[in-house]
């Protein structure tokens, strides 16, 4: 009936099983829907760390149509402790060729969401040549301003976004504390010193809505940086007096970072 009013109208349907890569009997039922109905898919998981073109093509066969990818990044309503201000990653260069379109699901923090949305736009504009690191720098500059760039890069890279590579984000801490020498610890100490300074970010921003959105996260990150700095300073002293608490400190730091 709606088509009679406007033949450009398209029905978009979000199925109950809107993720996964292996077809089910439910998907077979959905395949019986009229071809003109668009169907959402979020990737192999509800919030997918990677979305591969082969998986998109495979699940499209089960649904009986190319799908509309509803990418649950940078959305954070499932984990309000996280602020996703990083570039979209791990999406195949030819992924857009396997689907009807791609949508990104933003966070409740509208201003902060612009970082990920900016990079998603660059990915979709030129997925073959998309580079997440250079795109992220442009996005952070656009949203936060050039003066805040060093602080917000530390914020984005060191702590806040564990969505794509959580193991990689924490392995450098464990390696330095449990297997590194004093030079490694000094490097780690400087990193946490930089993290502690991210609290200064709030003072550099003129966008009041952005400040309101990120302030609780920034305060937490800055406090974690200060605590991490104390742990590492204590470990440096311990090594001089022959006391070994590196394993304990490593676990405490990782607990802080992932809490």
**The domain over range 2-144 is classified in CATH as 3.20.20.80:** yes
Q: What is the pTM of this model?
A: 0.85
- Inform me whether the pLDDT recorded for 140 exceeds 60: yes
pLDDT digits (tens, 9 = 90+) for 147-192: 999 999 988 876 545 555 666 666 777 777 777 678 888 888 888 8
Question: Bridge-partner residues for 103, per DSSP?
Answer: 70
The pLDDT value recorded for residue 62 is: 96
Q: Where along the chain do its domains lie?
A: 2-144, 166-258
With 0-12 / 13-18 / 19 or more C-beta atoms within 10 angstroms meaning exposed / middle / buried, residue 78 is exposed
- Inform me whether the pLDDT recorded for 198 exceeds 70: yes
d(CA 237, CA 233): 6
What percent of the chain is modeled with pLDDT above 70? 89
End-to-end CA separation in angstroms for the chain: 51
């Amino acid at each position: 009936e709606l088509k009679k009013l406007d033949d450009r109208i398209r029905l978009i349907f979000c199925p109950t099983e809107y993720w996964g890569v292996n077809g089910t009997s439910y998907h077979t039922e959905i395949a019986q829907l009229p071809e003109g109905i668009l169907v959402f898919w979020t990737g192999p998981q509800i919030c997918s760390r990677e979305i591969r073109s082969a998986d998109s093509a495979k699940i499209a066969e089960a649904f009986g149509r190319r799908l509309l990818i509803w990418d649950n990044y940078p959305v954070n309503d499932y984990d309000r402790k996280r602020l996703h201000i990083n570039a979209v990653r791990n999406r195949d260069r030819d992924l857009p060729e396997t689907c009807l379109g791609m949508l990104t699901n933003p966070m409740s923090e509208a201003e902060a969401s612009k970082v990920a949305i900016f990079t998603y736009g660059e990915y979709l504009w030129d997925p073959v040549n998309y580079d997440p690191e250079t795109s992220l720098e442009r996005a952070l500059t656009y949203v936060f301003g050039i003066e805040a760039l060093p602080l917000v890069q530390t914020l984005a890279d060191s702590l806040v976004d564990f969505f794509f590579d959580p193991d990689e984000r924490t392995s450098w801490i464990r390696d330095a504390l449990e297997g590194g020498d004093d030079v490694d610890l000094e490097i780690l100490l400087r990193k946490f010193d930089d993290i502690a300074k991210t609290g200064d970010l709030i003072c550099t921003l003129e966008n009041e809505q952005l400040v309101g959105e990120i302030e609780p996260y920034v305060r937490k990150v800055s406090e974690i940086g200060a605590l991490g700095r104390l742990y590492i300073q204590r470990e440096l002293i311990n090594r001089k007096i022959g006391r070994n608490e590196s394993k304990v400190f490593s676990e405490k730091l990782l607990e802080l970072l992932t809490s």
